[in-house]
Chain A
Amino acid sequence: MSESAVDLPALFRDETTQRLDQMDTALLAVEAGEAGAETVDSLFRNAHTIKGAAGMLGFDDVRAVAHAAEDILSGVREAQVFPPALAGPLLVATAALRAQVTGDGPAVDDVLGELAASRAALLDGDVRPPGAVAAEPSPPEAAEPVQAVPPATGSPPADVPPPAGTRRELRVPAEKIDHLLDVVGEIMQHRRRLTHSLGPERELAPGVAEVLGAGQRMLDDLKGTAVDMRTLPLAAMTGPLPRAVRDFARAAGKDVEFVITGADTELDRVILESLPEPLTHLLRNAVVHGIECPAGRERAGKPGRGRVELRAVPRGPLVEIVVADDGQGVTAEVIEAARREGSLADLLGQPGYSTAPEVSDLAGRGVGLDAVAAYVRSLGGSLDVSSEPGHGMAVTLLLPLALALVEVLLFERGGAVYGVPLPAVEEVVTVTRTLVLQGRPALELRGRSVPVADFAALIGTAAPPLGDRSPALVITVGGRRAAVTCDALLGQEEVVVKPLGPLFGGVDGYLGATILGDGRVALLVEPGILTRGSRQVAATARPMPMPPAPDRAVAARKVLVVEDSFSVRELQRSILETAGYLVVTARDGRDAIETLGQDTGIALVITDLEMPELDGLQLTRTIRADAAWSSLPVIIVTSQGSEEDRRRGIEAGADAYMAKRSFDQQALLLNVERLIGR
């Protein structure tokens, strides 16, 4: 299971830490004599969920401690009384759990001994009644151990602070950070407006200029912090990739080593969220169409095991993401065709290139590359493809590091202001003389010719003819160079990119718009349309049409995973998705009912038993009782593995019942396949 669980431990750690925080708060309330029945329920649920997730992920010590804590809590639930003195040993348990999940906890035997003793004492009715403790309030560390606890437990006190060097982390909804960035952008605009109306800096009183300068420095600092908060390392999305590559390789009969380098490279969250699809696609192409079968590789004098690499490298304001393989590459004929076309990226990135019959044997390398190219362009980046016949291929996505704030060069044409991302601008020249060949104008630039075009003509707008000596931007995108003429340059500025909105969804060529200091709107132009020679209007707004993988040719079946633990939910999702199922998730039974009501395409439900709101048994009964869903298959996956539980699950109408302890993905997939096929 380790293959699919690449970043699951991190996920599990985050989630468990959160649950432990909740447990600690609740236990402190218990100790203070302020706990209600719902406190016990939430404590029990948290301990139970930690146990389940730890069991599935193979963290046996964590599972054991959580299990012991859960035992005590279930005793408390039955006894319907929560002696405050029990909070002490439970806090010891949460501290031990915290030490375990953060990595270097000591052995848990002592803690387990103490918990077992506490439970025994609880069963004997030998803990102090609540009143007794409330009458003589004592600080948590002084909470008297119950009688049966062995004297030398050696375990840390209940309220040990987290190990030194542990960073405090805060979970913040992404929208809040987006909003922060928006506000920062607006302050920057506001400031531009202010400096605009104050006039040139040299005419300001010295005091004013100083205050403005100090404000600018603070604003830059604030902006840097806000942008930082929106970036995440590439590693945040690479988790499922090794498993995906392994599956592609297995299905295609290839032997492939997959390497990820630069996983700590930071990327804008929005880009990161959209990357899995194009990357998975490129990896699939590399494995299926790039890497040769082991025998073929050996014949070619290469090691039988192919190598596919995913590499991320920061490049100033851009980041380079490369998918490279040491497979067969493209043929010399394709290289030759690419030379005529401009570049390999141009050739393979043409819509429908792969369907052209004359290149069918290698068409695979172009499959969906047009969609990847469109994706990269829509983010203001560029695509580069290099290949050497017999020696593999590398596809490079050059993406902006930050999406929300972009450094642009502003220029004017036909009375309107436009911006183009600065990294794409190689230089600015003044047009003094144009050369013409076959009716196509070009500029001479240090001994090379560069095609030149009027910006207005490129984006398809009417504008008065350009004057003499008009400025031209030399744009480079993916190895293509072109000069673009305009009326005037307005200078460079860091601007907030705002989307044009859905009504402009079908219009190709814009990254968005920005609001200038004087309140005018400047359109931000995707550099690619300036080097491609003419505007290409997409037929419709398209959301990355990826061709289906051949092994998933049958319409994928949709599975609803109901589970309150995020780690377990994501684990099941990755197992099912890798096997080719579509997965939707719900956090508890009530959420599941809602999802079922909205999504009629769900073919199977996999549910946990113990969940807040509506539990797995109630959910199963609700499904069975509803005419519309009565034949919907239900699998219960739970940590309660007793015969009695199994019988209750089956009685409620479950089609299969699996214990998390014995959980293995093959068994889960077999059950799913048995019930709905694949």
Chain B
Amino acid sequence: MSVHVRVRVAAEAYAVAVEHVLEVVDIGDVTAVPGSRPELLGVRDLRGQILPVVDLALLLGIASTAPPGRLLVAEAHGRQAAFAVDEVNGVGDLAEPAEETESGLLAGAALGDGDLVGVIDMPRVFDALDQVPVP
């Protein structure tokens, strides 16, 4: 059991280990950066800092059902990015991710509150963002 932030992305349930989460903010004004790759929705001002905004649904390869409403600001490898999610469902203990998943971005999945919850591996997500080829 360890503490995770539970989020909903394109109607699916995901969780991020709390040590990688800096804060949760409203989606606000995201400025698109023409020419960047599709996983990047753009940039946003967060108290004077420019943060990249990542389309988490697209990165996970799932189809979004509604425009994202919240941003989960996360950190790994000393870098920060905001991840667009539908909503944030709170913070709490989550069982060890015992279920296997195919995605390299997940540490696995856990059963909780009637959902199969994908546990996002933030360091690997940042690694993947580095490697996605530029169109």
Contact = CB atoms under 8 A, between A and B. Distances in A.
B50 A513 contact: yes
Contact of B129 (A416, A460, A503, A512): A503
B34 A513 contact: no
Interface string A189-228: 1000000000000000000000000000000000000000
B50 A503 contact: no
A501 B45 contact: no
Contact of B32 (A189, A461, A502, A540): A461
Interface stretch (A326-334, A358-366, A514-522): A514-522
A462 B134 CA distance: 19
Given A503-B129, A504-B52, A535 B45 contact: no
Interface string B53-71: 0100000000000000000
A459 interface: yes
Contacts of B37: 506
A537 B36 CA distance: 9
A537 B83 CA distance: 25
Contacts of B135: 537
Contacts of A535: 34-35
A186 interface: yes
A538 interface: yes
Nearest to B81: A503
A339 B124 CA distance: 50
A510 interface: yes
Contact of A500 (B33, B79, B134): B33
A507 to B, nearest CB: 5
B18 interface: no
Contacts of B32: 416, 461
A553 interface: no
Contact of B130 (A416, A499, A500, A502): A502
B48 A521 contact: no
Interface in A475-531: 498-504, 506-510, 512-513, 515, 519-523
Given A186-B48, A519-B45, A521-B43, A459 B81 contact: no
A510 B36 CA distance: 11
A537 B134 contact: yes
Given A513-B50, A521-B29, A459 B45 contact: no
B48 A507 contact: no
Nearest to B80: A501
B44 interface: yes
A152 interface: no
Contacts of A186: 48
Contacts of B49: 498
A502 B79 contact: yes
Nearest to A525: B34
A504 B41 CA distance: 11
Interface string A445-473: 00000000000000111000000000000
Contacts of B48: 182, 186, 189, 515
B29 A519 contact: yes
B43 A459 contact: no
B33 A510 contact: yes
A437 interface: no
A521 B35 contact: no
A142 interface: no
B131 to A, nearest CB: 11
A539 interface: yes
A538 B134 contact: yes
Given A500-B43, A515-B50, A507 B31 contact: no
A504 B31 CA distance: 13
B50 A500 contact: yes
B40 A503 contact: yes
A535 B36 CA distance: 12
A459 B40 contact: no
Given A500-B43, A503-B129, A523 B33 contact: yes
B35 A537 contact: yes
A509 B35 contact: yes
A461 B34 contact: yes
Contact of A460 (B34, B54, B130, B134): B34
Contacts of B34: 459-461, 535
Interface string B99-124: 00000000000000000000000000
A515 B35 contact: no
A523 B79 CA distance: 21
Nearest to A462: B34
B13 to A, nearest CB: 26
Given A498-B50, A521-B50, A523-B31, A504 B45 contact: no
A537 to B, nearest CB: 6
A540 B31 contact: no
Given A501-B50, A521-B29, A460 B35 contact: yes
B35 A503 contact: no
Contacts of B43: 500-501, 504, 513, 521
A523 B130 CA distance: 22
A499 B50 contact: yes
Contacts of A460: 34-35
Contact of B45 (A510, A515, A539): A515
B31 A513 contact: yes
A498 to B, nearest CB: 5
A533 to B, nearest CB: 15
B81 to A, nearest CB: 7
A656 to B, nearest CB: 41
A13 to B, nearest CB: 37
Contacts of A538: 134
5 contacts: A416-B32, A503-B36, A503-B52, A503-B129, A523-B31
Leading 6 A-B pairs by shortest Cβ distance: A461-B34, A506-B134, A521-B31, A503-B52, A459-B34, A498-B50
Interface of A: 182, 186, 189, 416, 459-461, 498-504, 506-510, 512-513, 515, 519-523, 535, 537-540
Interface of B: 29, 31-37, 40, 42-45, 48-52, 54, 79, 81, 129-130, 134-135
Given A500-B33, A521-B43, 11 more contacts: A186-B48, A461-B34, A501-B50, A503-B52, A504-B33, A512-B50, A513-B43, A520-B45, A521-B42, A522-B31, A537-B135
